[in-house]
Amino acid sequence: YVIQMLPLLLVSFSDQVVAVREAAEGAARAMMSKLSAQGVKLVLPSLLKGLEDKAWRTKQSSVQLLGAMAYCAPQQLSQCLPKIVPKLTEVLVDPIPEVRSVAARAIGSLIRGMGEENFPDLVPWLLDTLKSDGSNVERSGAAQGLSEVLAALGAQYFEDILPDIIRNCSHPKASVRDGYLTLFKYLPRSLGVQFQNYLQQVLPAILDGLADENESVRDAALSAGHVLVEHYATTSLPLLLPAVEDGIFNDNWRIRQSSVELLGDLLFKVAGTSGKALLEGGSDDEGASTEAQGRAIIEVLGREKRNEVLAALYMVRTDVSITVRQAALHVWKTIVANTPKTLKEIMPVLMNTLITSLASSSSERRQVAGRSLGELVRKLGDRVLPLIVPILAQGLSDPNPSRRQGVCIGLSEVMATAGKSQLLTFMDELIPTIRTALCDNTPEVRESAGLAFSTLYKSAGMQAIDEIVPTLLHALEDEQTSDTALDGLKQILSVRTTAVLPHILPKLVHLPLSAFNAHALGALAEVAGPGLNFHLSTVLPALLAAMGDGDENVQELAKKAAETVVLVIDDEGTDSLISELLKGVADNQAGNASIRRSSSYLIGYFFQNSKLYLVDEAPNMISTLIVLLSDPDSATVAWEALLRVVNSVPKEVLPSYIKLVRDAVSTSRDKERRKKKGGPVLIPGFALPKALQPVLPIFLQGLISGSAELREQAALGLGELIEVTSEKALKEFVIPITGYQFPNWFIPDLYLWRFQRDRFPWQVKSAILSTLSIMIQKGGIALKPFLPQLQTTFVKCLQDNTRTVRSSAAFALGKLSALSTRIDPLVGDLLSGLQASDLAIREAILTALEGVIKNAGKSLSSAVITRVHTQLNDIIYSEDDQIRSSAASIVGILLQYLENAQTSEVLMGVTDSASSSTWTTRHGSILAISSMLRHNAAIVCASPLFTSIIECLKGSMKDEKFPVRESSVRALGRLFLYQIRNDPSNTAAHVATLNYLVLAMQDDSSEVRRRALNALKAVAKANPQGLIIHTSLFGPALAECLKDGSTPVRLAAERCALHSFQLSKGTEYVQAAQKYVTGLDARRISKLPENR
């Protein structure tokens, strides 16, 4: 009869009435348990055929009957298993969920009835399918089948395999994770109450799955979560609820969303509601819940836990993710009947949750808490502020610094959201709270308190400053609270710089500056930034003074503070900063050298480290610092600052600074000259090691890339610079300047090769030659490597078309010869050049020859000396004035190198020529005698022909040509100078020579008179006491010259009177001079400068 009843059973299995389906299942079990082997053979084909039916209900019924075969006798069932199991595994991956579910239960029934040993391949196949890359349907079927199998195999088997299941939930492959998480969806249904023992192990895997990057994995985890809540919401609530609560505050928004949904499921279960009510629009105050449901939640969770859950739920209603917000709002409105009433009940817990969240390390959580608090105040303002503010104020005494930080953030949110009128009521609580927070021991709390102060200031205005800032300033004076108070000030400065700074600075800049105040100024400057622009005149003078303090600690802290100040200034404050620094370097008071040094240092530091564009400010600074190099107290610091300023300027801009550098060097040189009153002028800053390093690039860049005019200025400026540089400091720059390289400024053969290639106009050539002359004079032996090139260059320039270039070359060549060891060839070349027909070139060669013989004559051979002597014999009588003068000058220098016979021959020749009928010949002979008396007076005075020479000069004073008379007076003046220096006791000789000069003062020619006055002045400067005894001889004539109609003569007479009468030595000399000049003139002349 079983065969006939099978169709009826198949239909009954699909009946809509549960009781019918259960009765059909019981009937099937009873039938199968009584079937014989023959009966199984008859029934099995029909059931297997039913599995292939297209109608899923038929297929489902067939599977149920096959499952019922588990109740067959083992012997009969074992014969059928090879046919049943493959078919069931096929149905296990059927697209219809109901079919898969029945198949899974059928497999579970079979294993439960026959034992695992009869299904050796089933569990491995299920595990493999769970891991497969196939469809979700296949993995879902495998998971469902495995759950039934695990339930059938017992608790021990499940415990053994559970670690492997959990491990695969975090498998690298998404499909594996999906399959194993899906397993947890079915295990609660299969294992029932037994599974709750493993919730603690399983929950973390499910929560991790909620945040998975793969959507199907997340869905599987969420489905598993829903099932867990559905099955164990009441029995395992203490285990499920904490896990879900933690997930609400997770950094991952997907976990938060899923956790909110699961929390909703839990609460719905507890409250006895489905949670499926449609809630659209309406006020937040109105919910779909009832008081009874609320009481049910309190009854199950307890009031405290219920408050915690609702507080968390309320907070995430303002989540940054819209899906989380929507989910939370749905749950809230479903379980909360009256929002204002509920909030009042949970307010302490809610504030605790918000404060904790505001102090969280998660930026999203802080944002959510802030938005939640803001919404709370915005919507319920006056109703909740009396509750919120005291809670926040009290929270500041919490020992946990994170919570105190959260309080400050909460205060900011409350004050930012509440209306000004609402906050005024609570100022007595808010201001002390923020004041306390600003002095907190924890930096993070102080930082958040600063933001709260900014928000408070918007509402309270000056009241906030008046009641908070003085307290912080007072706390600065206490060693125990000074550091925290300082940081508190920093925090409020960072948010309200303009309003607070004027109240703080006057307190800190009080002189003398303490170490702490210096430190405080630096710390506050770092925060105030450009806000200091308008307070530099208050801050910088105090810091500059403190940088020179006797206490090294104060010095160092003030220096750091000043460095911070100059670097925080922006473009708008640059002018003010520069102005203050320039005031500092210009402070000429005797005791303020330290301020000049400090200002110089800051200038250099500012230009080296600032990110601002300072090229436009550099010229003024360069000029100022160069002038400061003449100050010995500040020279080193000014030099370092100058180097930093120049290095901050692009090299292509440097040539534009040449003029201002020349002017500054000139000013500095003049300052130094006024100090020294005579002698070589050196600027202290250019006597330092590497002295020229700051300014040399300016001139060198000008020589490389400048225009012709700029190159001339560069060369001249370089010469001026070298003149005020010490020889020691100049040594390391000789090669760079003369021709090779300077660090970072590669100048290949700067002057020489370019010069020879004639690329420069004559002005540039002349300037370069002048500079080289100065370099030769100062650089000395260091120039030896360049001697051949320089000599060739100078000799070539003697042929130049321009007089200035020729003159400069001749002068430079004379200087260079002092360094040379091979003079004969050079002199030979010059003598050969004298054959040139061009008088201008001959003049230049004679000038060069004069310099060579003067500087290196001792190195000449007798043959070359004789050759020079021979060639010059005729040239000294040349009709050209300049050639005659140059040749005569050379003869005077050459005299010391001549043999005695040659000397006598020269003296005899010039004496005889003095009476020539040709005035140029007479003039030449007197010029030669004058030169001899200048350079070799001892030889002339010792010669037997000395008397003849005197007579010759005496006669020449009456010559009809004033140039002859003038030259004769010059010669007599040089003779008198020699006599009074070398034979001061021979007053008779002095008187004789002086009488000639007195006569010359009365000559008809103003040039002769002026020359006589200059000669007398030179003698007076050389030996004042030796001349003043002869006042009666020259006094009357000098007095007459003071009234001379020629201005040049009158001026020369004043200078002569100043030194001859020694008028600057005191009133007794002035009174003595009144015998010859008026008292008024004597006093006026006594005030003239002596160095002229």
Percent of the chain with pLDDT over 70: 88
pLDDT of residue 744: 32
CA-to-CA distance for 765 and 802, rounded, in angstroms? 10
CA-to-CA distance for 73 and 332, rounded, in angstroms? 57
Reply yes or no on whether the pLDDT at 80 is more than 70.
no
What is the DSSP track for 782-821? GGGGGHHHHHHHHHHHTT-S-HHHHHHHHHHHHHHHTT-S
Instruction: Let me know if 30 is exposed, middle or buried by CB neighbors in 10 A (0-12, 13-18, 19+).
Output: exposed
Mean pLDDT confidence for 606-619: 91
CA-to-CA distance for 558 and 193, rounded, in angstroms? 75
pLDDT of residue 757: 46
pLDDT of residue 758: 46
pLDDT of residue 129: 84
pLDDT of residue 619: 92
Q: Structure tokens of 353?
A: 């949750």
Tell the residue number behind the tokens 């958040």, with chain if given.
448
Contact 671, 683 (CB under 8 A): no
Mean pLDDT confidence for 888-898: 93
Mean pLDDT confidence for 1036-1054: 93
Give phi and psi for 1008, each to the nearest 5: -70, -45
Amino acid at 578: I
Reply yes or no on whether the pLDDT at 918 is more than 50.
yes
Three-class secondary structure of residue 591 per DSSP: helix
Give the ranges where 51-121 is alpha helix by DSSP (H).
56-68, 74-91, 97-114
Higher-confidence residue of 475 and 1088: namely 1088
Contact 668, 626 (CB under 8 A): yes
Q: CA Rg, the chain, in Å?
A: 56
Beta-carbon contacts of 161 under 8 Å, excluding residues fewer than 6 positions away, are 150
pLDDT of residue 69: 58
Higher-confidence residue of 103 and 178: namely 178
pLDDT of residue 262: 87
| Other Cβ atoms within 10 Å of 274 Cβ, number | 9
Q: Which of 232, 236, 231, 226 minimizes the C-alpha distance to 261?
A: 226
pLDDT of residue 755: 46
Residue 986, sorted as left (phi over 0), alpha (psi -120 to 50) or beta, turns out to be beta
| Other Cβ atoms within 10 Å of 171 Cβ, number | 15
pLDDT in tens, 828-887: 989 988 887 688 888 999 999 999 999 988 989 999 999 999 888 889 999 999 999 999
Beta-carbon contacts of 1044 under 8 Å, excluding residues fewer than 6 positions away, are 1006, 1009, 1050, 1053
Beta-carbon contacts of 138 under 8 Å, excluding residues fewer than 6 positions away, are 93, 129, 132
Reply yes or no on whether the pLDDT at 146 is more than 90.
no
Three-class secondary structure of residue 741 per DSSP: strand
Percent of the chain with pLDDT over 90: 23
pLDDT in tens, 973-1021: 999 999 999 988 888 899 999 999 999 999 999 999 999 999 999 999 9
pLDDT in tens, 728-779: 888 778 777 765 333 333 233 344 334 444 467 888 888 888 888 888 887 7
Q: Structure tokens of 349?
A: 């817990």
Reply yes or no on whether the pLDDT at 63 is more than 70.
no
Higher-confidence residue of 633 and 718: namely 718
Reply yes or no on whether the pLDDT at 281 is more than 60.
no
Reply yes or no on whether the pLDDT at 280 is more than 60.
no
pLDDT of residue 745: 30
Contact 505, 539 (CB under 8 A): yes
pLDDT of residue 609: 92
CA-to-CA distance for 328 and 318, rounded, in angstroms? 9
The model's confidence at residue 247, banded by pLDDT at 50, 70 and 90, is: confident
Mean pLDDT confidence for 665-674: 86
Mean pLDDT confidence for 293-307: 85
The model's confidence at residue 282, banded by pLDDT at 50, 70 and 90, is: very low
Tell the residue number behind the tokens 């002189």, with chain if given.
511
Higher-confidence residue of 118 and 69: namely 118
CA-to-CA distance for 45 and 52, rounded, in angstroms? 11
Average pLDDT taken over every residue of the chain: 83
Q: What angle do CA 681, 687, 693 make, to 5 degrees?
A: 120
Give phi and psi for 170, each to the nearest 5: -115, 25
Reply yes or no on whether the pLDDT at 714 is more than 80.
yes
pLDDT of residue 995: 93
pLDDT of residue 753: 39
The model's confidence at residue 16, banded by pLDDT at 50, 70 and 90, is: low
CA-to-CA distance for 167 and 163, rounded, in angstroms? 6
Tell the residue number behind the tokens 């003062």, with chain if given.
1001
Cis before 86? omega within 30 = no
Q: Which of 89, 83, 61 minimizes the C-alpha distance to 146?
A: 89
Reply yes or no on whether the pLDDT at 81 is more than 60.
no
CA-to-CA distance for 1065 and 1023, rounded, in angstroms? 14
The model's confidence at residue 72, banded by pLDDT at 50, 70 and 90, is: low
Q: Looking at mean pLDDT, say which of 216-230, 389-403, 786-800, 921-935 comes out highest.
A: 921-935
pLDDT of residue 1004: 92
Q: Looking at mean pLDDT, say which of 13-22, 104-113, 1034-1043 comes out highest.
A: 1034-1043
Beta-carbon contacts of 549 under 8 Å, excluding residues fewer than 6 positions away, are 512, 513, 555, 558
Give phi and psi for 913, each to the nearest 5: -70, -15
Mean pLDDT confidence for 357-368: 83
pLDDT of residue 1014: 95
Indicate whether this model's pTM tops 0.75. Answer: no
* Kind of pairing between the strands at 745-746 and 741-742: antiparallel
